[in-house]
Amino acid sequence: MKIIADAHIPFLKGVGEQYGEITYLNGNEFTRETIQDADTLIVRTVTHFGEEMLEGSKVKLICSATIGFDHIDTAYCQAKGIRWANAPGCNSGSVQQYISSALIEISRIKSFSLEGKTIGIIGVGNVGKKVAKIARLLGMKVLLNDPPRQRAESGNEFTDLDTIKREADIITFHTPLTKAGQDKTHHLADEEFFATLGKKPIIINTARGPIVETVAIKNAIRQGKISGAIIDCWENEPNIDLEYMKMVDIATPHIAGYSADGKANATRMSLETLAEFYGLDKTPILKINIPEPESPTIDLNSFPADKRIYHALLHTYSTQADNDRLKANPQNFTYFRERYPLRRENIAYNVINYLPQEKEILQDWGFRL
Residue 81 lies in a domain: yes
41 in a domain, yes or no?
Answer: yes
> Do 121 and 72 fall into the same domain?
no
Phi, psi for 304 (deg, rounded to 5): -60, 155
Q: Which domain holds residue 74?
A: 2-86+259-287
Query: Are 217 and 241 members of one domain?
Result: yes
Give the separation between CA 230 and CA 202, rounded to whole angstroms. Answer: 8
Q: For the chain, how many structural domains are there in total?
A: 2
Write down the pLDDT at residue 205. 98
User: For residues 204 and 256, is the Cβ–Cβ distance under 8 A?
Assistant: no
pLDDT of residue 209: 97
99 and 200 in a common domain? yes
* 138 domain residue, yes or no: yes
Q: What tens digit of pLDDT does each residue of 49-61 get?
A: 999 999 999 999 9
Identify the weakest region by mean pLDDT among 14-18, 69-73, 83-87, 140-144.
69-73
Residues involved in catalysis = 208, 237, 254
Same domain assignment for residues 245 and 180 = yes
pLDDT at 105 over 80: yes
Largest CA distance in the chain: 64
My answer on whether 208 and 156 are in the same domain is yes
Task: Note whether 73 and 97 are same-domain residues.
Answer: no
Amino acid 45: pLDDT: 80
Q: What is the mean pLDDT of residues 87-111?
A: 96
**Sign of the CA dihedral 131, 251, 293, 26?**
positive
In this structure, are 20 and 111 located in the same domain?
no
- Can you tell me whether residue 362 is helix, strand or coil? helix
Q: Are 134 and 207 in the same domain?
A: yes
Query: What CATH code is carried by the domain that includes residue 123?
Result: 3.40.50.720
Q: Per DSSP, which regions of 264-349 are E strands?
A: 297-299
pTM: 0.90
* 23 and 6 in a common domain: yes
42 by Cβ neighbours in 10 Å (0-12 / 13-18 / 19+) ranks as: buried
- Span 108-124, mean pLDDT? 97
In a domain, 219, yes or no: yes
